[in-house]
Amino acid sequence: MGLDPLQIPMLDGRIAIALAALSHSLFATFIVGSSLIGAGIATAAYRTGRASYERLAHMIAFTLVLTTGTISFLGVTFVFCLNIFWPRFWHTIFHVMFWPFLIEAMLFLGEAVFAYAWYYLWSWTSGPGWQRRLHLSFVWIAAGCAATAMFIIDITASYMLTPDPVNAAWRNIFNPTMIDLDVHRWFGNLTWAGFALAGLSAIGLIRARTVSDEEHYRWAGRVCFSIGFAALLVMPIIGYQYLLHVRYGQPQSFETLMLGERSWLFDLVALLYGLLILLGSYYIYRVVRSNSLRPASFDLFISISLLILVVAALVFAQPYHLQHIPFVSYLTDRQINPLGKMQPNKYFAMAFLVFFGVANAIYFLRVLRHNDFTLAQKDRSNPSILIALALCSALIIVVMGWTRETARAANGYLIYGHFALQDEHATYDAPKSGRARED
């Protein structure tokens, strides 16, 4: 009894798995973030009774239903792909992590049931008090299930990088990188979902036909942007801790990411992060400038802040080992770019990005309280910036996921030190060939 070899290069299988995993994770992260944001907005709607909060909550509920439906399909696809392209690995990891996988799936079921109840029983928001409270509880339960499911799946994701020990699922819950990964994803999900919802509001604003619609979507865009931007500012601090634990827990992997052949991926993350801070600050500049009640210090501060952020973003994205960037050998023979040193250049750049980002966010939150904006009704620049932020945040989520996975795969491992890509070669090649095709 055995398997028919696929008779294709393993790279094809890796691409198929990567596509399935990354598209799945893009929606999964959005669901966690948007359910948490939705719970907050719905609570605000319940407490204040403001129609704008309720309308925003309804939009979030709709996106949650659509993405939940999509991810359930992507989940099935991912499982099928793993069965076909990496059956041996899939069996091994599933055997070790059987109960976490099962609990995660059940929690997702809980998320789906309550998210659907939240959306499809929307008429309860105008019902008697108990019905409104029950309706509000739906989104909180959905968010709780989604966040717990993420915690559970982070056990597996971190275990694959830092298994400790290899064959004991429950003892691996708190493996060396588990908590860092989970906290990092909490803020990453809020960033991505916040910007994505801001982007959707921006599309709503562009398509709005009435003044009240325009006002609503403009306000919704600002609220969602502030959530995404605030979470973005926390990311480097947790990311630093995460990398520190990768460094001590799996030094070879750390080396690959920071100085090795895949360091260009980390540079790409840095580039996207700088771009997000820069675009966000530019959006803040445009919004706050349009408010007549802005603080007097803002005009001078934002000019300096934007200038510093441009420089910091450029430095943060600098590569150190130039030849590790694909195709750069066609342009230069230089090996080292001194500007790309982590210490002190990138640490300073990161600190500036966070510090000035926080300062800009404080200005933004201050003027957000005063609804005295004088933007042109047909302004298209601000919505365009929000859409660009949404796209960049989607990209950074995908690249971060890829970076984490490649930290193992570049060194030939699917479970670090215990299950190698080599172990899956029989799935691809017939034994008669006697060699593995890893092209």
Q: How far apart are CA 202 and CA 375, in angstroms?
A: 14
Query: Which of 276, 395, 266, 413 has its CA nearest to residue 325?
Result: 266
| 415 beta partners | 419
Whether 307 and 383 have beta carbons less than 8 Å apart is answered as no
> Strand, helix or coil at 4?
coil
Residue type, 56: L
**Rounded Cα gap, residues 307 and 13, in angstroms:** 45
Residue of 51, 109, 168, 310 interacting with another protein (CB under 8 A): 109
Phi, psi of 375 (to 5 degrees): -75, 150
Q: Is position 6 an interface residue for another protein (rule: CB under 8 A)?
A: yes
Residues in region 25-64 near another protein by CB under 8 A: 62
Among 77, 241, 323, 403, binds another protein (CB under 8 A): 77
328 binds another protein (CB under 8 A): no
Which of 238, 236, 230, 232 lies closest to 362, judged by CA?
230
In whole angstroms, what is the distance from residue 176 CA to residue 115 CA? 33
Return the residue matching tokens 């929000």: 386
The DSSP letter of residue 436 is -
Binding segment toward another protein, per CB under 8 A, in 66-74, 257-265, 384-392, 397-405: 66-74
Residues 405 to 434 in contact with another protein, rule: CB under 8 A: 426, 430-431
Considering only 22, 44, 105, 436, the residue that binds another protein (CB under 8 A) is 105
Question: Which of 47, 48, 51, 83 lies at the binding interface for another protein (CB under 8 A)?
Answer: 83
Per-residue interface string for the shown chain with another protein, residues 146-175, x marking contact by CB under 8 A: ---------------------x--------
Binding mask of the shown chain, residues 117 to 136, with x at each position contacting another protein by CB under 8 A:
---x----------------
Q: Which of 44, 113, 183, 308 binds another protein (CB under 8 A)?
A: 113
Evaluate whether 153 touches 104 at the Cβ level (below 8 Å).
Answer: yes
Pick from 73, 75, 61, 76: which is nearest to 31 by CA?
61
- Quick one: which of 76, 244, 307, 311 contacts another protein (CB under 8 A)? 76
CB nearer another protein, residue 84 or residue 410:
84
List residues binding another protein (CB under 8 A).
1-9, 11-12, 15-16, 62, 65-66, 68-70, 72-73, 75-77, 79-80, 83-84, 87-88, 90-92, 94-96, 98, 101-102, 105-106, 108-109, 112-113, 116, 120, 167, 426, 430-431
